[in-house]
Structure 1
Amino acid sequence: MDAELKRTNREMQNAAPKLLTVVAPVFNEGDVLREFYERLLKVLCQIEMRYEILFVNDGSEDETLSIIDKLRDHDPNVGVIDLTRNFGKEIALTAGLDHARGDAVINIDADLQDPPELIPRLIEKWQEGYDVVYATRTDRRGESSLRKFSASIFYRLIHWSASIRIPRDTGDYRLLSRRAVNALIKLREQHRFMKGLFSWIGYSQVGIPFEREPREAGSSKWSFWQLWNFALEGLTSFTTVPLKVASYVGALTATCAFLYGMKIIIATLLFGDPVAGYPTIMVTMLFLGGVQLLSIGVLGEYMARIFDESKKRPLYLVKTYLPSESNTPDGEQ
């Protein structure tokens, strides 16, 4: 009798609609949040899955949190994680993945540069058996030529130098299967380059091309300096090429110095040429000093990451967590 009851319960669970969790980290997105929700909801209502929308408020200072609270008042499928301060997008995304309970989880920015209308195509590939379905940008409309060029260089550099295959021109907009999410939340490193972590876990992955839209409202929260630091984060997290380059530059400099020294000795002994004085010494000293400082800086970047990891601090702190009804034991849509 018990075996028959267990079999019946298992069949009912298998027959139940799958749950889709949409994780949206937000930071000062009050200008666009309502429109994002409306476009997202229109898409989710058309798919044959239960759903929840999980907003992660990353220390917003505008009306973002109050808007989310209003959305929760009339939509039980909306949940919110309110972090104690701004921890950065990578950490906010991690918090969302930690609390997502869907059979499939979609990461998406709320600025509408990543169109919610692409979600059915992501789900279609997941249903074909892929664990990670990522959206690859074929165009970055609304961005300056400098930002497009720098992004292109970065993605190709990280693609070439990393020990794993990180897709080019691909952000965080993607779908993850349940087992892919379970693998990701085991990775608790402090310096998080999520694009690399998504690739590191492996599993079957496929890309879908799309044209990235301009921001619907507001401005980017990423300054050029922040983007530069983010690029360093990615390079130092998934490749040791900068350390190797420092070694190669040091070896090349030593070789050039030896050859130049031999040239001076031979020229002096055989031809009586006077040895170049102050200008040569100054240029040589400044060049060698610059190479040494650059190499020390590269070492410092890696040592700083070791220092941060050794503290073992929690990745984030949650002020308030209000799950959607779909994320509760008795929740039904």
Structure 2
Amino acid sequence: MHGHTWTWGAVGMFLLGLGALAPPSAEACAAPNCMVDVRFPLPEDGGAVPANVPGLVVVPPLLENTNVSTLRLLQSDGTPVPFTLANGGRRTHVVVPKAPLVPGTQYRIEAKGLCQYQETQTQSATFTAGPELPLPTTLGTLSVDTPSRGAFPVFGDSNCGSPQEGDATTLRFTPSPELVPFLPWVHWAVEVDGQPWSFANHHGLTSTGEDNPDSHKYEYNRQLLFLYTVCTTYNPPPPGLGLTPGRHRATLRGTLEHADITLPPLSVDFELRCATHCMTGGCADGGTGVVEDPEDEEPIKNPSKSGCTQAGGGLTVLGLLATVRLWRRRK
């Protein structure tokens, strides 16, 4: 009796250690709260901040908020710089200096996060003000790659990116020279056929127009510039199949925070297809109709190592219980 009690207790402890007894979350995959603390988007490689920057953005901790009472804008000698505080896009706050910054002067911006489950430390960033620059009037140019068939991760649920197979393409963006100095304070959205597709936080795109991973650490929404349709699904199934096969129009929109300007959006047309009629000699779209195992592609990061929820724990439970019963019969 004691042996059986120990066996079932050990199994229970093992399952709890695996997290298999916990119900899978229906929420989108994300790291624990405050895994990323308060951030201050600034120019790459220590570049100067235009003296007439409309506002300095303060990004809250992951899944939490900024303690606005701790916000400070200081000169290097500690002299406070007067500012007003405004709400920005994507749950941010915007520090708006009451007077233009002084070119050549060093500044420090700081704040603390409000985290429900842990203490936080003051976060800060330093920068140097540069000369005033004309505010941008254009975003730049937009093109699109030729679509290709392959495996790719689909985001949007608790699986942190499940590998699927389909047709996909990537938007190619080149920011205008006048936009580059203000990129850290621009947030982005992509629409397809007038409907929202994805978004990016402030400084979501670099000065070369590429994705900036530092702007969305441990966040698993759709990639801003990646467009796809799922043709063949794998387990776990995707939260959606993406775009329908056919012709579409993608539109890139950028918003410079707290600037009273409208930057004209950029649009480009593209087409995605799924092969439907495949014979021995190939498919109607020129493909072979052969779907390769997605494991042959670049491996997808294991969700269990990213603080993400896992499904399928029930199968683990059944397997372990069956093993215990077999062990008891052999006793």
Task: Please classify the TM superposition score into its range, dividing by the shorter chain length.
Answer: under 0.3
More strand, by proportion: 2
More helix, by proportion: 1
TM-score, structure 2 as length reference: 0.26
